[in-house]
């Protein structure tokens, strides 16, 4: 069953976003992860507290998503994010079986 990572992050350093992105894309591949969406919110249709940016990443399973987050391949990107952004939340959610 697929699983998804949904992240709400505010970047304080735009240069760091590019460095982070390059590392993350490569780190996702061994775990079957791929971005479905990322970037600024296009429009808010309901609610007052919508984030400015979101990322949605799909993984084949919840276990692979968790393994990626803990992987050595992701840790350099995590360090960049910790130093250059405010992480409001990152959540994993299981998808619905097709």
pLDDT exceeds cutoff 90 at 49: no
Query: pTM for the full model?
Result: 0.92
Token pair belonging to 45: 């249709």
pLDDT tens digits along 11-41:
999 899 999 999 999 999 999 999 999 999 8
Which CATH number characterizes residue 34's domain? 3.30.70.100
91-98 average pLDDT score: 92
Domain that holds residue 20: 3-42+51-94
According to the model, what pLDDT value does residue 65 have?
98
pLDDT exceeds cutoff 90 at 50: no
According to the model, what pLDDT value does residue 31 have?
98
According to the model, what pLDDT value does residue 19 have?
94
If one counts the domains in the chain, the total is 1
């Amino acid at each position: 069953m697929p699983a998804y990572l949904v992240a709400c992050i505010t970047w304080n350093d735009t240069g760091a976003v590019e460095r982070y992105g390059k590392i993350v894309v490569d780190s996702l591949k061994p775990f079957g992860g791929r971005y479905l969406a990322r970037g600024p919110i296009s429009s808010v249709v309901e609610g007052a507290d919508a984030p400015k940016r979101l990322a949605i990443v799909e993984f084949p399973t919840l276990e692979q998503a968790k393994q990626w987050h803990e992987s050595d391949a992701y840790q350099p990107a995590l360090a960049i994010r910790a130093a250059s952004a405010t992480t409001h939340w990152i959540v994993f959610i299981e998808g619905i079986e097709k």
